């Protein structure tokens, strides 16, 4: 018997299995947040006079007991129970009798799951923030450590101009700083309270939604009860877009690493224990970790579009399709966190080839340096360009000068501190 089931109805097992889908799997992830939301809701019911002090204390103690079981890993969702919300209410009722039945006054499972998801996303965003920050910090350290180690720069995958490992690592650090801005925006939108919106149309009970907002440490309230329900799916899309941006940075970095590990490049290596071999080729050191980061992050970049297609053309109000957002975004969150963590492990052990540009094959990287030398001597740029191009064509081009790059963001001026301040400014947005 479901909590919402009428005495005269019998629910088809096939219908039940189809409509519940994988929800129970993800409900276990939401269990602690459901308890957290229920604690705030029942405290509010007590404050507005809808729940006696004695009843509230009994419910509060038992909810804390359930929370302890969840934390210990001994909590279970019974096979015959539809969802986490029902499981907790059934447990309270079994323990407290009629007192347990009072917990649902003034709310619907719609706003209950909405607040669970907001609490879950808020916690996960904070974890993603810390993992992203750890990778950012490592990239900045590597940028400073290898600022003088030169690296070929490419356009169209053709030799272009001199770069450096400092410039390369720093580029991905600044990319993560921009990605963090999107994550902060997702956090701000997620950090709003939908509890008390009920099924989307509020309640005739004298609820104090500002109180639950404070108790749950939300930054703001979803004021309009209809919009509080419409945020189901929308919050997921904002989180997914931020995740997609971070994933794009990781995927591109991974592609660079896979190229640079190739023996034809030979720019960097990793310890044997961080690479994989071949069952037939004894010499192989494969970049499997970065290939999997690339693949997983490319999948994550598809998540916003998958959510958009799922939710397209839904009218206002609750619709069962929003249940499916969990199947899309929950695994993606786990994948992104794993990719960020393993990227830190790998890059913390990277070994750089510090004498790459001494090879004659990289001579053409310095053509622009020679053009600029002539410009500094007073030769018009286009004439200098033609002069150097002619020397390349006839095989007489040589460059023996030193690199002298001084402008902001160049090899000789990485602006590491300025990039860090951008990140720090964004991090402060999570506190507002």
Q: What is the dihedral of CA 415, 421, 423, 427, to 10 degrees?
A: 170
Q: How far apart are alpha carbons 179 and 171 in whole angstroms? A: 12
**Does 156 qualify as catalytic in the annotation?**
yes
In the 8-state DSSP scheme, what is residue 149?
S
**Does 86 qualify as catalytic in the annotation?**
no
Q: How far apart are alpha carbons 55 and 24 in whole angstroms? A: 29
Q: Which of 52, 210, 278, 316 is catalytic?
A: 278
Place of tokens 């297609």: 309
CA distances from 239 to 182, 221, 358, 431 (A): 9, 18, 46, 17
Q: How far apart are alpha carbons 418 and 329 in whole angstroms? A: 34
Q: How far apart are alpha carbons 242 and 179 in whole angstroms? A: 7
Q: Which of 156, 204, 279, 407 is catalytic?
A: 156
Contact criterion met (CB below 8 Å) for 328 and 307: yes
Letter string b/e over residues 335-355, b meaning 16 or more CB atoms within 10 A of that residue's CB:
bbbebbebbbebbeebebeee
Helix (H) or strand (E) holding 150: strand 150-155
Question: Where in the sequence numbering do the catalytic residues fall?
Answer: 156, 278
């Amino acid at each position: 018997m479901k909590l919402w089931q009428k005495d005269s109805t019998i629910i088809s097992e096939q219908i039940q299995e189809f409509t519940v889908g994988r929800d129970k799997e993800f409900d276990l992830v939401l269990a602690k947040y459901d308890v957290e939301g229920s604690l705030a809701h029942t405290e509010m019911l007590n404050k507005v006079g809808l729940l006696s002090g004695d009843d509230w204390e009994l419910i509060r103690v038992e909810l804390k007991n359930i929370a302890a079981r969840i934390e210990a890993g001994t909590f279970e969702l019974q096979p015959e129970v539809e969802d986490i919300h029902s499981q907790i209410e059934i447990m309270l009722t079994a323990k407290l009798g009629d007192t347990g039945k009072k917990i649902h006054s003034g709310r619907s499972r719609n706003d209950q799951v909405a607040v669970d998801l907001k609490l879950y996303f808020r916690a996960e965003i904070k974890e993603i923030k810390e993992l992203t920050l750890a990778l950012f910090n490592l990239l900045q350290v590597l940028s400073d450590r290898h600022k003088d180690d030169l690296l070929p720069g490419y356009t169209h995958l053709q030799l272009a101009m001199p770069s450096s490992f400092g410039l390369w690592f720093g580029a991905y650090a600044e990319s993560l700083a921009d990605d963090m801005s999107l994550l902060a925006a997702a956090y701000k939108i997620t950090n709003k309270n939908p509890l008390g919106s009920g099924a989307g149309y509020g309640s005739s009970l004298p609820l104090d939604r500002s109180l639950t907002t404070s108790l749950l440490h939300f930054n703001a309230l979803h004021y309009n009860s209809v919009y509080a329900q419409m945020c189901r799916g929308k919050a997921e899309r904002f989180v997914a877009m931020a995740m997609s941006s971070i994933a794009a940075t990781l995927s591109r970095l991974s592609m660079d690493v896979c190229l640079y590990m190739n023996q034809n490049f030979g720019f960097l290596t990793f310890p044997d224990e961080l690479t994989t071999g071949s069952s037939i080729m004894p010499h192989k050191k494969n970049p499997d970790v970065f290939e999997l980061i690339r693949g997983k992050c490319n999948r994550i970049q598809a998540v916003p579009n998958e959510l958009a297609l799922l939710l397209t053309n839904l009218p206002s109000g609750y619709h069962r399709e929003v249940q499916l957002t969990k199947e899309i975004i929950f695994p993606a969150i786990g994948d992104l966190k794993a990719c960020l963590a393993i990227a830190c492990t790998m890059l913390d052990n990277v070994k750089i080839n510090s004498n790459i540009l001494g090879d004659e094959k990289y001579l053409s990287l310095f053509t622009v340096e020679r053009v600029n030398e002539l410009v500094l001597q007073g030769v018009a740029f286009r004439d200098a360009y033609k002069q150097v191009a002619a020397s390349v064509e006839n095989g007489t081009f040589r460059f023996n000068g030193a690199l002298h790059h001084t402008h902001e963001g160049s090899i000789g001026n990485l602006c590491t501190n300025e990039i860090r301040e951008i990140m720090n400014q964004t991090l402060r947005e999570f506190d507002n």
